[in-house]
């Protein structure tokens, strides 16, 4: 029986839903005769064409679309055409009406890692840095302030001063022995001048002689702190060692704590799923409490890390709170001792001599690591980091490596750093998305997608033979181009 079919010279991929509706295609309507018997899925037919040759590779027969697999000339412009159904083109409308679980498509993806892409062996390293306002910001170790605990005539106080003042004060302590307490008499002058001098100095003389026995023991503590005098809050007062007037003035602390803040930008290299492990790791280094591994995936969306420090000036004890700047995501609390202690006493050891004891070496460790802020949740938090690592590969747990405490902190660098270690993919994800897509992992309507699409267990419903449906489902699960 003679029928008519439309033949095309058509450029398309085998795994594409594209159909010959494009303007300007070479096409021609020809009469066909089916061989008997023949398959509707892989038909063989005879065509007679008046013009020389048969330049076509595609056929539309009553809405069913076919690839022309072979053409055999049988003479007198007659041809035997062997075809196979283009199931994706023929069932295109039903495919677009299908909802399926999509593994990969060309929708931009910034969150789901594409494990099909290998990573580079050579790491990339970036860093950003910052400094506290006062902590560590001294030009030389000698510029660090000295805080003395002193028993004065009014009680116990803490005084902050520079090292020159501290050394001068302790030198005066050595001079409180009795022979040094008598004022030197002026030479020359009249007896009236001498009597006037004695009258002026008599009050000071008696204060000194009455207070000298306790002056050397009035200094109860002495510590050097790597901050400038600007960190000391209080008023300038005359220093009394017990009842002994030194004639020197220093800042008497009326608030023993000093708060300091440092914010460091996170040097993100990537803005997509490569921000996650194992592609990216973040580490925070502070010269006082050491190095900690930051929970990288929990900081996605953060631009900076903030360190808030609370420093107790009389003891040098410091607590550092670390959290994400914009969302206040709490990371941990770390402690250290920044003070260098000195031996003092009746011997009057000079502050210019070496530190004899550096106590309170860094207590490096996470005291509180929990988004809820409770110490009891620390173990759960660390476990949570490990669980999150299953998704990306190997998220490092929050850890700590001791920094430098005690007097050692005075000579350390004054800059803190965030280090980013990356292992990029061997090819950029967006450079291959047009050919293999990017991870979708979601239920989607195929009609809303274009370009590369790969499904999982696709099930197209259409009024066709089971073999045709099975082939369509298999092609979708292998990856097709919706065009």
Beta strands in 342-407 (DSSP E): 400-401
How far apart are alpha carbons 466 and 100 in whole angstroms? 19
122 CB neighbour count, 10 Å cutoff: 7
As beta bridge partners, residue 102 has: 442, 455
pLDDT tens, N- to C-terminus, the chain (483 residues): 568 999 999 999 999 999 998 777 889 999 999 988 889 999 999 999 988 899 999 999 999 999 999 999 998 899 999 999 999 999 999 999 999 999 999 999 999 999 999 999 999 999 999 999 999 888 877 788 999 999 888 888 999 998 888 888 877 666 554 444 445 556 666 666 666 665 665 555 555 544 445 666 788 888 889 898 989 999 999 998 888 788 899 999 999 999 999 999 999 999 999 999 889 999 999 988 888 999 998 899 899 999 999 999 999 999 999 999 887 789 999 988 888 876 554 444 444 333 333 222 222 222 222 222 222 232 233 333 333 333 333 444 445 555 556 566 666 668 999 999 999 999 999 999 999 999 999 999 999 999 999 999 999 999 999 999 999 999 999 999 999
How far apart are alpha carbons 32 and 164 in whole angstroms? 110
Q: Identify the pLDDT of residue 48.
A: 93
How far apart are alpha carbons 378 and 425 in whole angstroms? 33
Nearest in space to 85 (alpha carbons), one of 462, 479, 477? 462
How far apart are alpha carbons 72 and 124 in whole angstroms? 60
Tokens of 233: 């809050």
Sign (positive/negative) of CA torsion 239, 245, 246, 249? positive
Enter the DSSP assignment of 273: G
Entry pTM:
0.73
How far apart are alpha carbons 100 and 94 in whole angstroms? 12
């Amino acid at each position: 029986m003679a029928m008519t079919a439309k033949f095309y010279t058509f450029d398309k991929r085998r795994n594409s839903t594209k159909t010959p509706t494009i303007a300007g295609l070479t096409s021609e309507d020809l009469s066909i005769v089916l061989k008997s018997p023949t398959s509707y899925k892989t038909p063989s037919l005879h065509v007679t064409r008046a013009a020389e040759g048969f330049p076509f590779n595609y056929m539309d027969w009553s809405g069913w679309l076919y690839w022309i697999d072979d053409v055999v000339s049988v003479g007198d412009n007659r041809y035997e055409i062997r075809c196979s159904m283009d199931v994706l083109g023929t069932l295109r409308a039903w495919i677009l009406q299908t909802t399926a679980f999509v593994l990969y498509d060309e929708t931009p993806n910034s969150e789901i890692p594409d494990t099909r892409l290998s990573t580079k062996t050579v790491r990339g390293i970036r860093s950003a840095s910052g400094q506290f306002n006062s902590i560590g910001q001294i030009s030389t170790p000698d510029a660090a302030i000295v805080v003395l605990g002193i028993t004065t005539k009014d009680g116990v106080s803490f005084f902050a001063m520079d090292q020159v003042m501290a050394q001068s004060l302790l030198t005066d302590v050595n001079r409180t022995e009795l022979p040094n307490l008598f004022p030197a008499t002026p030479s020359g002058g009249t007896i009236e001048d001498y009597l006037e001098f004695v009258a002026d100095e008599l009050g000071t003389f008696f204060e000194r002689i009455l207070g000298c026995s306790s002056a050397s023991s009035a200094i109860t503590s002495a510590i050097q702190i790597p901050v400038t005098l600007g960190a000391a809050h209080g008023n300038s007062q005359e220093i009394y060692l017990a009842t002994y007037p030194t004639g020197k003035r220093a800042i008497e602390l009326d608030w023993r704590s000093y708060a300091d803040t440092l914010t460091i930008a996170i040097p993100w290299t990537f803005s997509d799923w490569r921000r996650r492990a194992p592609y990216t790791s973040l580490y925070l280094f502070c010269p006082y409490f050491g190095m900690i591994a930051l929970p990288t995936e929990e900081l996605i969306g953060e631009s900076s890390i903030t360190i808030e420090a609370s420093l107790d000036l009389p003891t040098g004890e410091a607590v550092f709170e670390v959290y994400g700047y914009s969302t206040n995501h709490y990371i941990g609390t770390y402690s250290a001792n920044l003070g260098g202690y000195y031996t003092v006493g009746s011997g009057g050891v000079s502050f210019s001599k070496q530190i004899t004891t550096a106590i309170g070496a860094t207590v490096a460790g996470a005291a509180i690591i929990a988004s809820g802020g409770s110490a009891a949740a620390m173990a759960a938090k660390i476990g949570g980091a490990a669980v999150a690592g299953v998704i990306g590969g190997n998220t490092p747990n929050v850890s700590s490596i001791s920094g430098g405490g005690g007097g050692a902190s005075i000579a350390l660098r004054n800059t803190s750093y965030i280090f980013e270690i990356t292992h990029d993919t061997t090819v950029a994800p967006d450079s291959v998305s047009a050919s293999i897509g990017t991870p979708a992992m979601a239920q989607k309507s195929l009609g809303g997608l274009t370009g590369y699409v790969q499904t999982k267990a696709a099930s197209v419903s259409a009024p066709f033979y089971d073999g045709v449906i099975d082939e369509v489902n298999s092609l979708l699960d292998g990856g097709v181009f919706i065009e």
